Amino acid sequence: MKIYIHEKGVVLAGKAWEIKQKLKEYGKQHCYVKDWIKHPAKAGSRSD
């Protein structure tokens, strides 16, 4: 699974179940995508 954080959005690449799991995980940490983009260190810029 790969996560790319850009200044205007986030791209998740991987299997559907991996993406759903990561979205649930990051949804607990960040309320909005703009918050996720502002603080990418918490989320991690790439995960294998």
- Domain contains 12: yes
- Domain contains 25: yes
Q: How many domains does the chain have?
A: 1
H-helix or E-strand spanning residue 4: strand 2-6
pLDDT value at residue 46: 52
- Domain contains 14: yes
Reported as a single tens digit per residue, the pLDDT across 1-48 is 998 888 888 899 999 999 999 888 888 888 887 787 777 655 454 544
- Domain contains 2: no
Q: What is the pTM of this model?
A: 0.62
- Domain contains 33: yes
Give residue 18's domain range.
Answer: 7-43
Strand, coil or helix: 30: coil
- Domain contains 22: yes
**Number of C-beta neighbours around residue 40 at 10 A:** 14
